[in-house]
């Protein structure tokens, strides 16, 4: 192994759990440096304040402990821009983990500047996508920072070794009853599950794995009707009640979870090269993307909508692979945001046993014109015009056919 670079102070992305608590102590011992902890509350649904006491117990100065509520920024500046593009990776994944990493990386770099740190560190493994997402963020925003990725340096490559290290070094690890066989990651947009029996792509996960959503079988037997209001492509109200971005998503999560909406079980292609099976719950996001496409269907021009759909897979790939801060992502974002200037109005939905059903859409900027679309008699469309339209579109086929004959 190459000689470690000397660092004076490092900002660690810190959750207070087993992995990052071991990393905290390991950084102190192996790098002999001052550690600053940063804990981001992005709606993971767990108390973040205990991380403060845990950090203090490991010798971190109170002024070197940063715990910040980033929920509104997360939804407003990351989730909403992504959903303007109707972003889905490989047809199913709504990118709940991917979209959180650039925000955490950005704030880490800002804290490093604030406390005059010369390094940043994360707890992502050397097998996954998160190491790429974190580090692409660091390098994009301040390439002079030293990056420490313990999982690529140490030999603590199992939970048992981590627990043994924690016991040896007096690190208290709270026991929360039966250990979950899954590796999970949660934020306000989703919760993910990996590991355990999910490593067999042919094995169905147990029902008690799912933490947020009712199973469709146990969801209410009566449908619930809701309305979503959009402005400039962003959700602004539910059932006519305007809320902040984070509270809008929180409310949609409640509705979706109640009705068994948003479960996904997929095998995805990781950026590092391997296939990985994961399960996700994204109840609010699943409702929002369905409604957003519905309001776009009456407010976007045909070619504008189609070109946007062609750009989306590239945009999704950039986010999944950690290129949020890249010029190409910003370029596509600008184009997407331009299309959203007239995307406003109300979508009516029916939620029922895992389904999100669009039952109505209206907009003051609607391009739907019943005078043209009606199957009844009209005075604006001459159906005879269609003959020439079809013949001109087929002209190249006619010429080629005559040549071949």
pLDDT of 2 reads 55
pLDDT of 369 reads 86
pTM: 0.94
Same domain, 235 and 322: yes
Same domain, 298 and 191: yes
Give the domain CATH number at 242. 3.90.1260.10
What element of type H or E holds 275? strand 275-281
Same domain, 47 and 192: no
Q: How far is CA 90 from CA 203, 266, 317, 321, in A?
A: 21, 9, 8, 12
Same domain, 194 and 64: no
Domain termination site, one of 105, 139, 168: 168
How far apart CA 371 and CA 356 sit, in angstroms, is: 30
Same domain, 121 and 227: no
Per the CB < 8 A criterion, the answer to whether 283 and 256 are in contact is yes
Per the CB < 8 A criterion, the answer to whether 89 and 190 are in contact is no
Q: What secondary structure does DSSP assign to 19-88, as a single string?
A: HHHHHHHHHHHHT--EEEEEEEESS-SS-STHHHHHHHHTT--GGGEEEEE-HHHHIIIIIHHHHHTT--
Give the domain CATH number at 107. 3.40.50.620
Q: Is residue 142 part of a domain?
A: yes
Angle between helices 302-320 and 327-339 (to 10 degrees): 150
How far apart CA 386 and CA 391 sit, in angstroms, is: 9
pLDDT of 382 reads 84
Model pLDDT for residues 281-316, shown as the tens digit of each residue: 999 999 999 999 999 999 999 999 999 999 999 999
Same domain, 163 and 197: no
Q: In terms of residue numbers, what domain contains 126?
A: 9-82+97-168
Residue at token pair 């999910």: 198
Phi, psi at 46, each rounded to 5°: -120, 155
Same domain, 200 and 341: yes
Contacts of 326 (CB under 8 A, 6+ apart): 140, 318
pLDDT of 371 reads 76
Residue at token pair 């406390």: 115
Q: Which residues pair with 360 in a beta bridge?
A: 348
Same domain, 164 and 189: no
b/e code 147-161 from CB counts within 10 Å (16+ = b): bbbbbeeeebeeeee
Phi, psi at 224, each rounded to 5°: -120, 130
Per the CB < 8 A criterion, the answer to whether 316 and 86 are in contact is no
Nearest to 30 by CA among 155, 171, 158: 155
Three-class SS of residue 362?
Answer: strand
Mind telling me the catalytic residues?
A: 19, 101, 130, 183
Per the CB < 8 A criterion, the answer to whether 230 and 339 are in contact is no
pLDDT of 1 reads 47
pLDDT of 173 reads 77
b/e code 16-49 from CB counts within 10 Å (16+ = b): bebbbbbbbbbbbeebebbbbbbbbbbbbeeebe
Q: Is residue 267 part of a domain?
A: yes
pLDDT of 325 reads 98
E runs forming strands in 195-240: 224-231, 234-238
Same domain, 200 and 113: no
Same domain, 147 and 273: no
Token reading at 278: 């994961």
Q: Is residue 56 part of a domain?
A: yes
Domain count for the chain:
2
| Alpha-carbon dihedral 174, 178, 181, 182, rounded to 10 degrees | -60
Same domain, 140 and 72: yes
Strands 241-242, 263-269: pairing kind? unpaired
Q: DSSP secondary-structure letter at 93?
A: B
How far apart CA 405 and CA 261 sit, in angstroms, is: 56
Same domain, 143 and 271: no
How far apart CA 340 and CA 234 sit, in angstroms, is: 8
User: Which residues does the chain have with pLDDT short of 50?
Assistant: 1
């Amino acid at each position: 192994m190459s000689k470690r670079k000397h660092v004076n102070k490092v900002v660690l992305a810190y959750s207070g759990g087993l992995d990052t608590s071991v990393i905290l102590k390991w950084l102190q011992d192996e790098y002999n440096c001052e550690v600053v902890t940063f804990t981001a509350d992005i709606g993971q649904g767990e108390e973040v304040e205990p991380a403060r006491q845990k950090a203090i117990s490991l010798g971190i100065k109170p002024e070197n402990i940063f715990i910040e509520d980033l929920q509104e920024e997360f939804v407003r500046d990351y989730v909403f821009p992504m959903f303007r593009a109707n972003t889905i990776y490989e047809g199913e994944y709504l990118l709940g983990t991917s979209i959180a990493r650039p925000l955490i990386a950005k704030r880490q770099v800002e804290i490093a500047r604030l406390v005059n740190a010369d390094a940043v560190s994360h707890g992502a493994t050397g097998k996954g996508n998160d190491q790429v997402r974190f580090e692409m963020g660091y390098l994009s925003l301040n390439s002079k920072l030293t990056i420490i990725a313990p999982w690529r340096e140490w030999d603590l490559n199992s939970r048992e070794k981590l627990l043994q290290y924690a016991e040896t070094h007096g690190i208290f690890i709270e026991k929360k009853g039966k250990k979950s066989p899954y590796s999970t990651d949660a934020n306000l947009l989703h919760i993910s599950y990996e590991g355990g029996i999910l490593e067999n792509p042919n094995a169905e996960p147990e029902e008690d794995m799912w933490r947020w959503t009712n199973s469709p079988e146990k969801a209410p037997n009566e449908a619930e009707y809701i309305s979503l209001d959009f402005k400039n492509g962003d959700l602004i109200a539910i059932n006519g009640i305007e809320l902040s971005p984070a509270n809008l998503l929180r409310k949609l999560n409640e509705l979706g979870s109640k009705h068994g909406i948003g479960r996904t079980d997929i095998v995805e292609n990781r950026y590092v090269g391997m296939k990985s099976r994961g399960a996700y719950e994204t109840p609010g996001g699943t409702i929002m993307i369905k409604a957003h496409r519905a309001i776009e269907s009456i407010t976007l021009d045909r070619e504008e909508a189609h070109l946007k759909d062609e750009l989306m897979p590239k945009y999704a790939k950039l986010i999944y692979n950690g290129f949020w801060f890249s010029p190409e992502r910003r370029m596509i974002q600008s184009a997407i945001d331009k299309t959203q200037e007239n995307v406003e109005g109300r979508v009516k939905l029916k939620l029922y046993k895992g389904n999100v059903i669009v039952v109505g859409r209206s907009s003051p900027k609607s391009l739907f014109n019943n005078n043209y679309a009606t199957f009844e008699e009209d005075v604006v469309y001459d159906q005879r015009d269609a003959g020439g339209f079809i013949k001109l579109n087929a002209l190249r086929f006619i010429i080629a056919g005559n040549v071949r004959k």
